Amino acid sequence: MSRQLFTRRSVLGAAGLGVAGLGAAMSPFANRSNASPGGGAALDPGCYSCSGPAPAYLRSYRQSASIPTPREQTLVIAQPPTVVFDSFNPYIPNGMAGSYGLDQVCFEHLFYFNFETGELINGIGTGWEYNADYTELVLRLNPNARWSDGTPLTADDIVFTVAMLQGNASLFTASGVINNVESATAIDPQTVQYRLLRANPRYHYAFIAGIIGAGFLVQPKHIWENQDPASFPNNPPVHAGPYVLDQVLPDQFMYIWRKNHDYWNIANLNCQPEYVIVRQEQPVDLEVQEFQRGNLDTGGPLTIDYLNQQVIKATDESAILFPFSDPCPRSLFPNFDGPSGLMAIPEGRWAVSYMIDRQVAAEVLSQPPSQPAKFPWAPYVSNEQWSVPEIQQQHDFTFDMNRAAELLDAAGATLVDGRRQLNGQPLNVQIITPVVVTDPGYQIADMLRLNAAELGLEMTLSSLQGGTHGDVHAFGDYDINAQWMCGLVFDPVQMYDDFLMRDYVPVGERAISNLNRVQLPEFDEVVTRLEAADPADPANKPDFDRALELYFEGLPVIPTAQTAFSFLYNTKTWTGWPTPEDRYGIGASWWSQFRFVIGRLQPAAAAQ
Partner 1 sequence: MAFINTWRQSGQFRFGVIVLSLLILMGVFHQLLIRLHIGDTDPRQIGAFGILESPSWAHPFGTDPYGRDWLAMNLLGLPSSLLVAGIAGLISTVIGAVVGFVSGYKGGKTDASLRTMTDMLLVIPTLPLILTLGAYARGLSVLELALVLAAFSWPFAARVIRSQVLSLRERPYVELSKISDLKDRQIIFQDILPNMMPYLGIGLATSSVGAAFALVGLTIIGLAPSGVLDLGTLLSLALEWGALSLQQWTLFFAPMTLLILLFLGAAFISQGLEQVYNPRLRGQQ
Partner 2 sequence: MTISVETIEAKSADNRSPVDTRRKGRLNPVVAYLLRRLGIYLLTLWGAITLSFLFFRLIPGDPISAFVTSMESQGRYGAGDSSEQVVEYYRQQFGLDGTLLEQYLRYMERVVFHFDFGPSLVSYPTPSTDLIMRALPWTLGLVGAATILSWVIGVLLGTLLGWTRSSWISRWSTNLSLGVSHIHAYFIALLFVYAFAYWNPWLPASGAYDARIEPGWSLDFIGSIIKHGTLPVLSIALVGATGWMISTRALVVAILGEDYLTFAAAKGLSRWRILTRYVMRNAWLPQVAALGITLGGVVGGSVLIENLFRYPGLGALLVNALGVRDLNTAQAVVSLLIVFVLTANLIIDLLLPLLDPRVRQHR
Instruction: Please give the residues from 11 up to 30 whose contact with partner 2 meets the rule CB under 8 A.
Output: 13-14, 16
CA distance 77 to 497: 36
Site for partner 1 in 50-79 (CB under 8 A): 51-52, 55
For partner 2, the binding residues in 277-316 under the rule CB under 8 A are: 280, 282-283, 285-286, 289
Residue 28: is the preceding peptide bond cis (ω within 30°)?
Answer: no
Burial grade of 337 (CB within 10 A; 0-12, 13-18, 19 or more): buried
Name all contacts of 20-24 with Cβ < 8 Å and 24+ positions apart: 20/115, 20/116, 20/322, 20/323, 20/324, 20/325, 20/583, 20/587, 21/323, 21/325, 21/378, 21/379, 21/380, 21/562, 22/116, 22/118, 22/380, 22/381, 22/583, 23/381, 24/580
Q: Is residue 472 close enough to count as binding partner 1 by CB under 8 A?
A: yes
467 binds partner 2 (CB under 8 A): yes
The 349-388 site mask, x for binding partner 1 (CB under 8 A), equals ---------------xx-x---------------------
Among 69, 154, 383, 443, interactor with partner 1 by CB under 8 A: 443
Q: Could you say whether residue 3 binds partner 1 (CB under 8 A)?
A: yes
Contacting residue, 233, 426, 506, 542, with partner 2 by CB under 8 A:
233
- Per-position x/- string for 252-281, each x denoting binding to partner 2 as judged by CB under 8 A, each - no binding: xxx-------------------------x-
Residue 41 binds which entry of partner 2, partner 1, none, CB below 5-8 Å type-dependent: partner 1
81 binds, among partner 2, partner 1, none (CB under 5 to 8 A by kind): partner 2
Using the rule CB under 8 A, give the single segment among 2-10, 316-324, 451-459, 579-587 that binds partner 1.
2-10
- 507 lies in the site for partner 2, by CB under 8 A: no
52, 93, 150, 521: which one binds partner 2 (CB under 8 A): 93
Q: In Å, how far are 33, 47, 312, 316 from 44, measured between CA atoms?
A: 9, 6, 13, 16
Is residue 163 at the binding interface for partner 2, with CB under 8 A as the rule? Answer: no
Asked if 42 is part of the footprint of partner 1 (rule: CB under 8 A), the reply reads: yes
Rounded Cα gap, residues 600 and 416, in angstroms? 64
Cα–Cα distances (Å) from 54 to 40, 314, 318, 319, 571, in that order, read 27, 11, 17, 17, 20
Residues belonging to the chain: 608
DSSP per residue over 368-424, as a string?
Answer: S---B-SSSS---GGGGGG--HHHHHHT-----HHHHHHHHHHTTEEEETTEEEETT
Among positions 190-229, residues that touch partner 2 (CB under 8 A) are: 205-206, 211-212, 214-216
Which DSSP category does 250 fall into? G
Q: How far apart are CA 111 and CA 457, in angstroms?
A: 49
Using the minimum distance from each CB to partner 1, give the nearer residue, 166 or 468.
468
Instruction: Find the part of the chain contacting partner 1 (CB under 8 A) among 30-38, 408-416, 481-489, 491-499.
Output: 30-38
462 binds partner 1 (CB under 8 A): yes
Which range of residues in 126-134, 244-252, 421-429, 548-556 is near partner 2 by CB under 8 A? Answer: 244-252
Tell me the chain's radius of gyration from C-alpha atoms.
25
Contact residues for partner 1 (CB under 8 A)? 1-6, 36-43, 48, 51-52, 55, 283-285, 288-289, 305, 307-308, 311, 364-365, 367, 432, 436-438, 442-443, 460-465, 467-468, 472
